[in-house]
Structure 1
Amino acid sequence: MKKYASKYLPLIIGTACAVGIFLGSSLDFSDSSESLFNSNPKKEKLNRLIDYIDYEYVDEVNTDSIVDVTVNNILKNLDPHSTYIPKQNYEEVAENMKGDFVGIGISFYKINDTIAVIRPLPNSPSEKAGIKAGDRILYADGIPLFSQNITNDSLTHILKGEINSKVNLKVWRKNEDELLEIPVKRSIIPIKSVDAAYMLTANLGYVKVNRFAETTFAEFEKAIENLIDKGASELVLDLRDNGGGYLDEAVKIADEFLEKEKLILFTKNKNGNIEKTFATKKGRFENSKVYVLINENSASASEIVAGALQDNDVGIIVGRRSYGKGLVQREMELGDGSAVRLTVARYYTPTGRSIQKPYDNGNKAYFKEYQHRYENGELTNKDSISVNDSLKYTTPKGKIVYGGGGIIPDIFVPKDVNYKRESLTYMLRGGVMDRFIFNQLEKDREFYNKLSLEEFSEQEIISEEIVQEFIEYLRQFNYDYQTGKYKDLLQQYLKATMAEQLFGSNAFEKIVNQNDAMIQKVLQLENQEN
């Protein structure tokens, strides 16, 4: 379930942009040197203290929690992106980055303690078995799912399982006299990292990537192949709010735009060892125009892609200065099911610039840097971006680029100066409409399910009455967004959210992007050259 956003946008984004950006290159860590774990007085000191507390301390103490706190405190003294993953969180974190899980493939809500299906995922076991949007799943293998004692975690555990294992569902469906018995065979369910892929013009395709997981390049490949079949010879790659992920996946995507042997990036560790990564093959958009969209929440792997293209004089970077994360993490297991992601190197763009922003003033100041950008005006005015002339670099074609904190775009697009409207937009993207729209669809599922995407797009689905109903719906949560002043925005997002529940995220992005400032800037640039 998506959480509702606060109205304090600058503080929210400053915090939110920290989530996910610590993920660098999760490469397998191996060190043949036995000296890494040899006897060490510092380690023996900590071990002895834990033993004293375990066996001698007057009260019972959970030393596992003490160790967790100790590890976190040690990492806080290193850099902002070295992080600890406790044992209880490891499986969830690993699954999220793996890009898939084994389950039945449904989006659902708990409504009045009942599992209500928003929609079965495309080509999922649920869809193939005949589960439909609006169905209520009452039992799974005889276990009642309408009990108040069933938590989301236990529910997920019940619906997930071994690949090819079966779960027998009992489903209530409107207008059916009896419960339906539907067996579903569990399968691999992808966690999408490509939110949308569609045509903006006859020859300009658009792809939005929300993170870099294990499956991202495979998703990206499939998306661009589909766009090429539709006539795409140019591409918009949307990396806004993409906090990063696996380095390898970013490299593969950059490779699609760069000629063979072009440098994509290099990394340097504490010993000064440099590893260079080059483009390797013929990319589908190697000699084509590409626009890369970035903003203040585009980080890490997103910056690798943007920096590689900018430094090789390929494409046009559009948007606002990116986050500024140029540290590479490697995941290392701690032997008890927990792990650390430890910074092991810095990465540099092809011209040699580091885009890591400073963290000398501590983690708190580091993660509040967005607030500084907000206050100094750089989110609305490119001239307010502070650059360091000592970190000036030149691309092969003579373009000046800067290191020291993020990728500065070639074409600047300011944030909406109407911060109340911009705050409302952020909230609406956060899922506050989801349950309201589900209830709207429930009023006439038969009508909505008969609509094709084309018919849905052409019709004025969201009436003034529905907009007013939503404003009343928000009042029960004490939201104060002056929503009545932005009915056009509400209508757009209500329709987009309904499209998402009926047709998927591609339909959602297509509708909300209709008046998007960065996409409008791209289309303007296209028109100027044609």
Structure 2
Amino acid sequence: MKEFSNAAAKQRIITWAVIGALLFTIIGFVLGWLWMEIRYPMLREPAFRNFTVSYNTIMSKYLNGAKSEDLINGASQGMLASLGDPYSRYLIKEQGSAYTQGYEGEFSGVGITLQEADGKFIVASLTEDAPAVRGGVHAGDEIVGVNGTSIKGKAYEDIITILRGDVGTKVKLSLQRGGSAKPIEVELTREAIAVHTVTSEMLSGGIGHVTISKFGQKTDEEFKTEVEKLQKEGMTKLLLDLRSNPGGLLQSTIKIANMLVPKDKVILQVVYKDHANTITYKSKQDKPWTIPIVVLVNGQSASASEVLTAALKESAGATVVGEKTFGKGIVQTFQQFKDNSVLSLTEAQWKTPGGTWIHKQGVTPDVTVDLPAYASLSQLPFGTELEIGSYGDNVKTLQLMLKELGYSPVGDIGLYNEQTADALSKFQKDEQLAITGKFNDVTGYRILELLSNKLKEEDTQLHKGMAILNEK
């Protein structure tokens, strides 16, 4: 009897141990699943099962095979695209790096600005004292190879990525120069290249003309440097040029506003989702700004440039001249992952000091001034080829450009005929280009260059801004 009792007790212990282990496993599984659902709420979505099945099916059955990384990155891109917001996007690896470098004060490279023309990659300009200059690269050189490999057929973005790289690494370029039979080989060592976003010049009447191309990490420092330089040269009035400035970092924009907007005056208000949080930024000006300001804007002045324009107009009494701005009244934040991919997401809207939301409305100038009509002519897309018999909007644009440069008659507008070809041939002859009577990228680049120079002389907005400042 005693022996039976011990065996039964042992069996009960084993049974309870097994039951306890099972319960512990079940509870652990349930808690783990709940934790997973809290951490990853998409697991609760019925559509997530579709995603999982699709992923597994592609990985196991797709004829050409697939990389899991590509599928997941593609899903992330699609997720952001489904928002229907052009400013919210997922940028993969090198795209993410290029995105963040666009706002940094420098990037690693050799100091070459490229121009694509007829499938060729031409050195358009060189950064002063950069590796390319020291290595003997000239503006106008054609890059035909990189690291011993032809770049024929490569995309523009691919060449830019190849030219950039870690500081201290080397890149070999094969350059075609003029009529030389053999390419010139140069080896360059990549360095940190400063990105300049602010330029300045002294105009007549003590007017300092400061242009901000975009707002990057060091734009406020550059702005302060240029302003101080102009003040030493006798600046008594400021013409702030924000035309075609697409925006950028809010932090540097606010720092510039702190210099120009009176202390404690509102710069902007940032309102987050469901009005859960509103941040009002007020000027922290140290030294009063006493110089009158005129701001130049156009339809491509957007985002952060609109923030500064509205702040100066409403809180600093500046006069705004030009055209109604783009109208981007929302704020994106971005985070970069370990593989350099970037998530850029719209998280807030911003309002002017007076509480106006300018999204899709823009900032209206105090004085509306249009540029000459030819300034609105768009650049013909790279790769465009036009000849006798061509027709359409691209032909019309080319003809209007030629007329503006004094090459008339150009024939029936919109139809590329003998007169159009003759006008273009005269232009090509005068500019020492290959005389073909046909339009190509090289010819188009020179036309744009001359129109740009012409616009600088006939800049009605700048002249009006100067006139207003001279009256102050």
TM-score greater than 0.5 by the shorter chain? yes
Q: Quick one: distance in 1 between partners of 2:42 and 2:163?
A: 48
2:368 — aligned with what? 412
Q: Aligned-pair distance for 1:304?
A: 0.9
CA change 1:40–1:162 in 2 (3 A) is: closer
Does 2:190 align with 1:186?
A: yes
CA change 1:115–1:485 in 2 (3 A) is: closer
Q: Structure 2 counterpart of 1:425, which letter?
A: A
SS for the counterpart of 2:211 is strand
2:25 — aligned with what? none
Given that 1:104 and 1:186 are in contact with CA atoms closer than 8 Å, whether structure 2 keeps it comes out as yes
Query: CA deviation digits over 1:462-516, x for unaligned, max 9?
Result: xxxxxxxx999x999962234353225999xx9xxx9xx99xx9x9977633222
Q: Structure 1 counterpart of 2:405, which letter?
A: K
1:117 — aligned with what? 123
When the two chains are superposed, the root-mean-square deviation of aligned CA atoms in Å is 4.3
1:425 — aligned with what? 375
Give the length in aligned residue pairs. 392
Q: Aligned-pair distance for 1:46?
A: 4.1
Given that 2:116 and 2:382 are in contact with CA atoms closer than 8 Å, whether structure 1 keeps it comes out as no
Q: Aligned-pair distance for 1:139?
A: 5.4
Q: Quick one: distance in 2 between partners of 1:255 and 1:263?
A: 10
Q: Quick one: distance in 2 between partners of 1:276 and 1:216?
A: 22
CA change 1:356–1:139 in 2 (3 A) is: closer
Q: Alignment partner for residue 241 of structure 1, among 229, 244, 251?
A: 244
1:167 — aligned with what? 171
Q: Structure 2 counterpart of 1:411, which letter?
A: V
Does 2:258 align with 1:250?
A: no
Pairing of 1:503-522 with structure 2 (within 5 A):
512-522=455-465
CA change 1:136–1:345 in 2 (3 A) is: closer
Q: Structure 2 counterpart of 1:329, which letter?
A: Q
Query: CA deviation digits over 1:55-104, x for unaligned, max 9?
Result: 3579539754762464135422xx56433434563222222233532111
Q: Quick one: distance in 2 between partners of 1:411 and 1:35?
A: 58
Given that 1:202 and 1:231 are in contact with CA atoms closer than 8 Å, whether structure 2 keeps it comes out as no
Q: Quick one: distance in 2 between partners of 1:478 and 1:407?
A: 31
Given that 1:82 and 1:329 are in contact with CA atoms closer than 8 Å, whether structure 2 keeps it comes out as yes
1:52 — aligned with what? 53
Pairing of 1:230-309 with structure 2 (within 5 A):
230-269=233-272, 270-282=274-286, 286-309=289-312
1:75 — aligned with what? 83
Q: Give the TM-score normalised by the residue count of structure 2.
A: 0.68
CA change 1:191–1:291 in 2 (3 A) is: same
Query: CA deviation digits over 1:251-296, x for unaligned, max 9?
Result: 122222123333222222235323232322436x811111111223
SS for the counterpart of 1:480 is helix
Q: Quick one: distance in 2 between partners of 1:434 and 1:526?
A: 43
Given that 1:212 and 1:249 are in contact with CA atoms closer than 8 Å, whether structure 2 keeps it comes out as yes
Q: Structure 2 counterpart of 1:518, which letter?
A: Q
2:211 — aligned with what? 208
Is there any run of 5+ residues in structure 2 with no aligned partner, and where? Answer: 1-34, 409-426, 432-441
CA change 1:324–1:37 in 2 (3 A) is: farther
Q: Aligned-pair distance for 1:245?
A: 1.5
Given that 1:308 and 1:349 are in contact with CA atoms closer than 8 Å, whether structure 2 keeps it comes out as yes
Given that 1:68 and 1:86 are in contact with CA atoms closer than 8 Å, whether structure 2 keeps it comes out as no
CA change 1:275–1:116 in 2 (3 A) is: closer
1:401 — aligned with what? none
Q: Which has the higher contact order (CA 8 A, sep 6+)?
A: 1
Q: Quick one: distance in 2 between partners of 1:53 and 1:317?
A: 54
Q: Quick one: distance in 2 between partners of 1:434 and 1:119?
A: 21
Query: CA deviation digits over 1:314-362, x for unaligned, max 9?
Result: 32111233233222221245787644322222222223333234xxxxx
CA change 1:478–1:293 in 2 (3 A) is: closer
Given that 2:297 and 2:320 are in contact with CA atoms closer than 8 Å, whether structure 1 keeps it comes out as yes
Does 2:395 align with 1:479?
A: yes
1:372 — aligned with what? none
Q: Quick one: distance in 1 between partners of 2:295 and 2:115?
A: 35
Identity %: 25
Pairing of 1:60-139 with structure 2 (within 5 A):
60=62, 63-64=71-72, 67-68=75-76, 70-76=78-84, 81-87=87-93, 89-109=95-115, 116-137=122-143
Q: Structure 2 counterpart of 1:515, which letter?
A: E
CA change 1:176–1:222 in 2 (3 A) is: farther
SS for the counterpart of 2:107 is strand
CA change 1:41–1:55 in 2 (3 A) is: closer
